[in-house]
Structure 1
Amino acid sequence: MNMWLKFAIQNTLRNRRRSLVTVSIAALGTAAILLAGGFALYTYEGLAQAAARSTGHLVLGKPDQFVRDEDTPLQHGLDDVATLRTALLADPAVRHVLPKVEFSGLISNGEKSTVMLATGVEPDSEFAVKGPFLTLTDGQVLASGSTDAEIMLGAGLAKSLKATPGTSLTLLASTTEGAMNALDVRVKGIFTTGVPDMDKRLVYTDIATAQQLLVSQRVSSLGVFLDRMESTDEVRQRLTAQHPQLAVKTWLDQAFFYQSVRDLYNRIFGALGLIIGLIVVFVVTNAMAMAVIERTREIGTLRALGTRPAQLLHSLALEGMVLGGVGALLGGAVSLGLSLLLYVVPIQMPPPPGRSVGYPLNIAIDLPLYATTLVAMVLLTVLASGWVARRTVHLPVVEALAHT
């Protein structure tokens, strides 16, 4: 094996220019696949973390909460939340349980009224657990224990109502009995989610204010935050068994945007990887075809000296392996270097469609992706080399020696 490998390396060095071109194409192909795949994986991970922070790793609610529209606010809401919350926190994998009240209605400044999509939360826990899921542009975030009814407005909604921190507004919504109720509130902060359409409608308030407006002590759902994302399925099974009267959904069940982006990227980068693979195969095939044709008489001489076709085919396949292996390693090194460089010298991407803020460009360094890509690249070059060489090594010795 060592002799044939040494022979293959020496043969690749006979025409350095052609070997350099083949190695370069294999390296560029490998780097392109790794960079594109790493970008996709980083995007998946970022969207998954954002989705889990937004809803919780698990979401508990009554079954009708997830499959039927409510006729009145909190029609399918949860009762006796304190007891249920205590039971959930007894699970060793559960770190936090955050209640949420979701409702819609109107918000008015006295001269103008507009539709709002409001969420009641526990302010201190919400912003501490979820981290920076929104960006405060003016004022302060909500805080628990305030004696005043306070809200936070999306930037677009604040602009529409000409509201600033300290402005008094009125919330109007239907109660759980179907009657209309109004509540005067004060704007404490203005934020942006990075999605302009959401900023034109979104309102945050504390749960006490939301329940006062809706005249109910229920909550819409409970968001369960775990010690790690990998525990999601295991804990879901336990909670489903412990609370059969409730529906337990995972963050993935609620992450429609994440699933759409993942399906789109899988198609885009799958097609890109296929095209790059075909290019590499064609380049290696062409390079090996030229090498084999130029050495037809040499192959005939080796056959006349007793070398078997299988040995020659093995040697030529090793040449392809050498070229593909060197190219794959170089491409992997380039991809790794660029990925690390982006962490040191960050690059900001422009806002994607439907958003108003950009995001940092990062490339995930995934060992299984690197291993799979490098092995696939070597296999492609070996198969391409063997496919090209199979006809020449089986030529009759006389015909091969007479080749010009």
Structure 2
Amino acid sequence: MKTLALAIRNLLRNRRRSITTLLAMIVGAHAVLLFGGYTRNITYGLQTDYVKYGGHLQIERAGYYQFGSGNPAEYGIANYREIIDALKSDPVLAPMVLVVTPTLQLQGIAGNFKQGVSRTALALGVLVNDQNRMRGWNDYHFPVTVPPLALTRTETDAAIVGMGLARVLQLCGQLHVRDCAPQTNPTANAGPGLPADVAQLARTTQAASTSASQQSTIELLAATARGAPNVAELHVVKAEQQGIKEYDDMYVGLHLAQAQRLVYGGDQPKATAIVVQLAHTGDMPAAKARIEHLLATKFKREETEVVDYTTLNPFYGQALAMFATLFGFIALLIAAIVLFTVGNTMSMAVFERTVEIGTLRAMGLRREGVRRLFMCEGLLLGVLGASLGVLSAAALAAVINHSGLSWTPPGRSPVPLIIRVWGENDLIAGTAIGLLLVSMLSAWFPARRASHMNIVDALRYA
């Protein structure tokens, strides 16, 4: 206790220098915590986007992730309904699972043959009600509301397309897409329309619609599971930005039943993936292990695998690695600044108190006692700097979060600027412990030099 009391008095002896040192530590804590909170928010935002649209886990046929894009029909899951029922009724998974829904991915050619244009497309068939439920996932409490899927309450022949695909197919006027190139005269430049055999296929697969002439219509040509061509005439209800240009130029969203008719015709319908969305991301390891156990015991004949969202979206891991590198660089830079600031403060204290150190040593204080005195001062600086830095950084983050500021992520519309500090216990603990360790390390070298002073030489400064 005497050592602590002496350390406090020594810090108060030169208040200006102590306050300057504390301010340097507080600013350093702000830099680390605010940037760390900003990156945490980006991480949670990316995770929320991927989970809302693709779930936490996907059950696929073995090899589909590596090879299925070339021929999705060959990797369809025939008994997907039985698997979904088994997952929903399992007592272990029931508390963890929110949504279990099938999807069907297929490739084809989307064309607007009235304008004589077409291009390759990547289509995804979904159950609309399940997708709307998935869009409500917001485990990290973002102040953003995602609207329902544009296919809600539409006929089975409805579709949505990416903005880029709408531009390529010259649907800008009907879908109110901006930044489009001027359209050519459709009368003078239109192609001959659908070939006769393809047109016949379209007529046999489309549902009757009295408003077809008033809607934006495209033809989606695909190959069935047996290799025969199949086509569906789709009424485009909306064009949506997909965020990634390559995907935006190819995306077609449609009802699962329509996608299954395109790929399987009158045969047994299948799904290329079963999407599982959980209530909390932290349950993912346990849920994955349970699903794999159920598949291995009840559905041995189906060679399936369970893939999580981090594997399905490599960009997520790359983004986390990039921000981790930036965070490490900033933390290292702040640590160097704090190290030299505290070290300079302690060195000045040792120089100014040379006579005091000599007197204490002459009175019988051992070297360990001198070293402990200066180390205690460094510890006090670290505790005060870390405590004030964490509290003020949390308060500053709260002010920023309630200021109404926004920023625009790549490929998205503006979102509120949120910095997550309070509640991120590992980030707070890491920053506080780091400041303590740096301050102790900064004090160790001056303390060691003070403890090794020669008593006679130190008293000469009296």
Counterpart residue type for residue 269 of structure 1:
F
Counterpart residue type for residue 226 of structure 1:
L
Is the partner of 2:13 in helix, strand or coil? coil
- For 2:259, the equivalent position in structure 1 comes to 210
- The Cα shift of 1:288 comes to 0.8
Counterpart residue type for residue 203 of structure 1:
V
Counterpart residue type for residue 338 of structure 2:
V
What is the distance in 2 between the residues matched to 1:327 and 1:140?
49
- For 1:101, the equivalent position in structure 2 comes to 104
1:35-74 equivalences in 2 (<5 Å): 35-69=34-68, 72-74=71-73
2:220 to 154, 171, 178: 171
- For 2:354, the equivalent position in structure 1 comes to 296
What is the distance in 2 between the residues matched to 1:362 and 1:356?
16
RMSD of aligned Cα (Å)? 2.3
- Name the TM-score, length of structure 1 as normaliser: 0.92
Counterpart residue type for residue 120 of structure 1:
G
Distance 1:40 1:147, change over 3 A: closer
1:227 to 263, 274, 279: 279
8 Å Cα contact 1:101/1:121 also seen in 2: yes
What is the distance in 1 between the residues matched to 2:450 and 2:69?
74
8 Å Cα contact 2:53/2:131 also seen in 1: no
- For 2:164, the equivalent position in structure 1 comes to 156
What is the distance in 1 between the residues matched to 2:455 and 2:105?
83
1:251-400 equivalences in 2 (<5 Å): 251-352=309-410, 355-365=411-421, 366-400=424-458
Moved more, 159-168 or 206-215: 159-168
8 Å Cα contact 1:26/1:327 also seen in 2: yes
- The Cα shift of 1:132 comes to 8.7
Is the partner of 2:253 in helix, strand or coil? strand
Deviations 1:114-147 (A, max 9, x none): 221111001121122224999999x971136x54
- For 1:23, the equivalent position in structure 2 comes to 22
8 Å Cα contact 1:61/1:248 also seen in 2: yes
Deviations 1:176-234 (A, max 9, x none): 11122221110112222333443222110001111122235111110012232222111
1:143 to 136, 148, 152: 152
What is the distance in 2 between the residues matched to 1:56 and 1:232?
11
Counterpart residue type for residue 454 of structure 2:
P
Distance 1:336 1:135, change over 3 A: closer
- For 2:179, the equivalent position in structure 1 comes to none
Count of residues in Structure 1 that have an aligned counterpart in Structure 2: 399
8 Å Cα contact 1:72/1:174 also seen in 2: no
- The Cα shift of 1:60 comes to 0.6
8 Å Cα contact 1:194/1:357 also seen in 2: no
- Name the TM-score, length of structure 2 as normaliser: 0.81
8 Å Cα contact 2:156/2:257 also seen in 1: no
Moved over 6 A (4+): 132-137
- The Cα shift of 1:48 comes to 2.0
8 Å Cα contact 2:223/2:263 also seen in 1: yes
Distance 1:225 1:140, change over 3 A: closer
